[in-house]
Amino acid sequence: MTALHQVPANWLTYEELRQALAERGFTVSPRTLRYDCAALVRQSLLCVQRGRVQANLAAGSDNWGELADRVHSRQRKKLALLKILYNVPGGLTTAQLLAGHPALGGRDTVESLLHELASSGFVQEVDGRWQPGPALARPIPVSTALAAELYGYLDLLSQLINLPSELVRLKSRMIPHLVFPGRSAWREKMCRVEERILAHGPGTGGLLENAALVGTLRRAIREQKWVQVTYRQKELQLAPLGMVYLWEKRHWYLVAVPQHGEEPREYRGDRLGVVQVLPEKHTFSDGFHLEQYLGRRWGIGNDAAEHQVRVRFRNTEWHMVALERLQGEIARRWPCRPDCRLYARGEETILEDRICGLSEFASWLRSYGEAAIVEQPAELRARMYHTAHRMLERYTGGDGRE
């Protein structure tokens, strides 16, 4: 789906699609590819015509989001498997994995995950026991200074040539070493690809949906030019100030001041149509800082009130990589909120922050299930309790029994 959305004409033959997947590290046979495409057609996510496939644009983004969730869930199970095997030097049999970790799924699922990892060299079977494979190298400690130097080299190189996918991934892994409260200002600035273009809130960022439209808006932001846009089938003139990508919502937003307005507003990217840069310049950018504008917002919403939150996280049987996921998601918040604290206490990790947008924070927190325990504020504890109580009533019929 990602490969198809990145093609301007949005059409690819099966062989072209297979090559695009190979470039992303997915080796797939023509028969398997046709089988998978047929499954996506049944979900109304793809269209097939004369041996070519196209993303079904009429399907909208909701189905694609659900599909992405399933893909992410499978990837998290692979990470959990690697973590389990990494911590057991002698390895485990398939039966031991099934008995000790039911959250991984049934036998078919676990065997499928193991064989996919084995085909990439991440695991191997020795005398009936699964162990880390040759491709799963032991971690190498990287100092802050070395990470900053390596990131600088890769950042310079990326402006000269298109980096191979392996180096792009390596560059992205340097960011958590650089974006951290208390580090020097130049390192934090080096992590931002462009001023006023940033990923905010929880998440590791992602690809923006429309590269041509985003490129036009970036130029307008840089040159402080007015733009003429189509938004929800209405013609608007806006003074663009910045762009924000929210991983939690899978949307990006344009922050801009409307014509005859004085205060910035947020415009969702997938509702923007044609964009034309106008010759006239505006002055709203003078003294504007996107980080300050976002302030303590957890996402894009702003309920005005500020809340001091404190939440305990821990890995559980059903959320075996919750702490690893938490580290990655909070790393993107630190450039905007350097006072956001994340620290270990025993086997738990504590998150302390002061936020606006309690509804968005609660929605994000629910994705962790029993891996998260709210300590404060009381309002958030009550909200989480109310949600859990309603779910219990729905699944038990209100009598407390299954």
CATH fold match for the domains 1-57 and 60-137: yes
Cβ(224)–Cβ(217) below 8 Å:
no
Which residues lie below 8 Å from residue 233, measured CB to CB, with a gap of 6+? 273
Average pLDDT on 47-60 reads 74
Q: What are 72-89's pLDDT values in tens digits?
A: 677 788 888 888 888 787
Categorize the per-residue pLDDT at 322 as very low, low, confident or very high, splitting at 50, 70 and 90.
Answer: confident
Does CATH place domain 60-137 in 1.10.10.10?
A: yes
Q: At CB < 8 A and 24+ separation, what contacts does 15-19 make? A: 17/53
Across 33-42, 86-95, 351-360, 369-378, which has the greatest mean pLDDT? 369-378
Categorize the per-residue pLDDT at 326 as very low, low, confident or very high, splitting at 50, 70 and 90.
Answer: confident
Element (H, E) at 86: helix 62-86
* Portion of the chain with pLDDT greater than 70, in percent: 79
pLDDT mean across residues, the chain: 79
Average pLDDT on 251-270 reads 87
Which residues lie below 8 Å from residue 299, measured CB to CB, with a gap of 6+? 200, 201, 246, 248, 249, 357, 360, 361, 364
CA atoms within 13 A on the CB side of 74: 13
User: What are the boundaries of each domain within the chain?
Assistant: 1-57, 60-137, 144-191, 211-293, 307-396
Say yes or no to pLDDT of 11 above 90: no
**The Cα angle at residue 72 between residues 96 and 374, in degrees rounded to 5:** 85
Lowest mean pLDDT among 23-37, 151-165, 379-393: 151-165
Buried b / exposed e along 39-52 (16+ C-beta atoms within 10 A)? ebeeeebbbeeeee
Rounded to 10 degrees, the C-alpha dihedral 85/122/170/55 comes to -110
Q: Which of 257, 260, 266 is nearest to 284 (CA)?
A: 257
Q: Say what the pLDDT of residue 190 is.
A: 43
Lowest mean pLDDT among 130-144, 203-217, 234-248, 257-271: 203-217
Say yes or no to pLDDT of 339 above 90: no
Q: Which CATH number fits domain 1-57: 1.10.10.10, 3.30.870.10, 3.30.70.20, 3.30.830.10?
A: 1.10.10.10
pTM above 0.85, yes or no: no
Categorize the per-residue pLDDT at 353 as very low, low, confident or very high, splitting at 50, 70 and 90.
Answer: very high
Q: Which CATH number fits domain 211-293: 3.30.43, 2.30.30, 1.10.150, 3.30.450?
A: 2.30.30
Categorize the per-residue pLDDT at 100 as very low, low, confident or very high, splitting at 50, 70 and 90.
Answer: confident
Tell me how far apart the terminal alpha carbons of the chain are, to the nearest angstrom.
39
Q: Say what the pLDDT of residue 213 is.
A: 78
d(CA 263, CA 67): 37
Q: Say what the pLDDT of residue 258 is.
A: 93
